Amino acid sequence: MLLGPAFIAVGDGTSTFGRVAIENGRIADVLPADGDAHYPLPQGSSIAPGLIDVHTNGAEEYVFNRDQGQAVAVVSRAYARLGATGFVAGVITAPWESMLHAASDIVEAANELEEEPPQGARCLGVHFEGPFLNSKFRRIHRHEWLMPASAQRAKEMIEACRGACLLVTMAPEVDGASDALRVFLDNGVVCSAGHTATRYREGMLAIGLGFRSLTHAFNGMPPLDHRDPSLLAAFIQDRRTLVQVICDGFHVSPVMIDILHRTLGDRVVLVTDNMPASDPGYRVEGGVMRSADGTIAGSALAIDDALRNYMSYAQIPFAQAIVAATHAPARLIGHESEMGRVTRGARADLSFWDREYGVIATMVGGRFVYNRLEVPV
């Protein structure tokens, strides 16, 4: 399959104008614009890596914690319509056995989808947000379900996911965190600091011990103070880390989004932390999801909107902004050799955009899973 010509956002901040050749589910080559194409694209179109959301709680009316494996196919189809080719299913703080069961059921459903031709975005694995969080910054995470970390509990989380536990949000200061951290790192799990009271000095120590990601910057942590720098300052300084941010203009001011871009560059990871309004007591108000008492309970953000917001807030072109929703999240979960770039040998997980940067098609493994083009699926 030969697609183009189109503007191609490579995923490293650069762009070119050309055609993309697809063979056996992978990118066979990126070719000059001159020449034939099996499927010409509309004038002004762009081709980019597929978007990846590493922090999502579900889609439509399905929530991973409650609907578990049943949510996977629904979220897969919903994310495909947004230009996303992958997501990490979020399991938030709940009774311990319930969390483990949800993770196991999600992985089973994801594995079943992998055995079939792609129909939507891929569920790449599981993200545990909790239960090893600081109660002071727990937000909607219920106090009675929080618990100390331990090596044994870390092992149980990994076993429940059968190799698909990709990411754990944990407060570095909770009891047992260092023991759990060693188990997670030994098993290839990325540890992300979040819902934490940790400040700068302890944050630098946490990074030194192996934390490599920060969960929803500015939210669920002390503010960035000019006299007493917070955890965020440590992550900004250390270039080994990546920083997740909810780019909806409500969780973080557009001004601070611009400042993050200027200071972090390609280390910004766009996430949604979206919470479907499917449970009684939750409502969308002022562009964010809120619980019955008014506490922010996640976003009402879609990942393609996060990208367009990022372009606007940071005043950067599409090819530069797309890195934060493609290659940066792929790096965070250790998948950067397979996805997140339009380059020879990578998976043909691609998004297609019109001249106004609206999603017009999504391809997973060389197969169209969402298509508003005059191109056969």
Arithmetic mean of pLDDT, 257-262: 98
pLDDT at 38 over 90: no
The mean predicted confidence, pLDDT, of the chain is 94
pLDDT computed for residue 279 by the predictor: 65
Whether the per-residue pLDDT at 376 is higher than 60: the answer is: no
Asked if 46 and 35 touch (Cβ cutoff 8 Å), the reply is no
Q: How far apart are CA 361 and CA 306, in angstroms?
A: 18
Closest Cα partner for 251 from 207, 225, 221? 221
18 in helix, strand or coil? Answer: strand
- Whether cis (ω within 30° of 0) applies to the bond prior to 376 is no
> How many residues belong to the chain?
377
Q: Assign 3-state DSSP to the chain and report helix, strand, coil percentages, each to 5.
A: 30, 30, 40
Please answer whether residues 146 and 166 qualify as being in contact, where contact means their C-beta atoms are separated by less than 8 angstroms: no
At 364-375, the pLDDT tens digits run 999 999 999 865
Question: How many whole angstroms separate alpha carbon 209 and alpha carbon 219?
Answer: 22
Residue ranges of domains in the chain, CATH in brackets: 2-47+340-371 (2.30.40.10), 51-332 (3.20.20.140)
CA angle 154, 155, 160 (to 5 degrees): 100
**pLDDT attached to residue 275:** 87
Query: Is residue 290 predicted with pLDDT exceeding 80?
Result: no
pLDDT of residue 193: 98
- Residue 359: how many other CB atoms lie within 10 Å: 22
**Residue 299 confidence (pLDDT):** 83
Q: Which residues contact 154 (CB under 8 A, 6 or more apart)?
A: 168, 179, 180, 181, 183, 184
- Which residue is it, tokens 């493994």? 365
The model's pLDDT over 198-234, given as tens digits with 9 standing for 90+, comes to 999 999 999 999 999 999 999 999 999 999 999 999 9
Tens-place pLDDT, residues 161-195: 999 999 999 999 999 999 999 999 999 999 999 99
Q: Quick check: 377 pLDDT over 60?
A: no
pLDDT of residue 100: 98
* Mean pLDDT, rounded, for 256-265: 98
Backbone angles phi, psi at 246, to 5 degrees: -90, 110
Q: Mind giving me the DSSP string for 213-251? A: EESSTTSSS----SSS-BHHHHHHH-TT-EEEEE-SSSS
- Model confidence at 297, pLDDT cuts 50, 70, 90, reads low
Q: What is the C-alpha to C-alpha distance for residues 280 and 132, in angstroms, rounded to an integer?
A: 26
Statement: residue 292 has pLDDT above 90:
no
Q: Which helix (H) or strand (E) holds 320?
A: helix 318-321
40 secondary structure, DSSP code: P
Rg (CA), the chain: 20
For residue 277, name the pLDDT band (cuts at 50, 70, 90): confident
pLDDT of residue 138: 83
What's the confidence (pLDDT) of residue 278? Answer: 66
Least confident interval from 110-119, 245-254, 291-300:
291-300
Confidence of residue 107 (pLDDT cuts 50, 70, 90): very high
The 3-class secondary structure across 343-360, one letter per residue, is CCCCECCEEEECCCCCEE
Where is average pLDDT lowest: 89-98, 272-281, 291-300, 329-338?
291-300
Taking alpha carbons only, the member of 372, 376, 349 closest to residue 45 is 372
pLDDT > 90? residue 310: yes
Q: Distance between CA atoms of 157 and 91, rounded to whole angstroms?
A: 11
pLDDT category at 284 given cuts 50, 70, 90 is confident
Residue 140 has what pLDDT?
80
CA 94, 98, 104, 108 torsion: positive or negative? negative
Is residue 286's pLDDT more than 80? no
Contact by Cβ (8 Å): 39, 1: yes
Neighbours of 110 (CB within 10 A): 22
Tokens of 249: 């203009």
Tell the residue number behind the tokens 């975005």, with chain if given. Answer: 121
Phi, psi of 132 (to 5 degrees): -90, 70
Q: How far apart are alpha carbons 147 and 153 in whole angstroms?
A: 10
> Is pLDDT of 5 > 60?
yes
Please give the share of the chain, as a percent, with pLDDT higher than 90. Answer: 87
pLDDT band at 16 (very low <50, low <70, confident <90, very high): very high
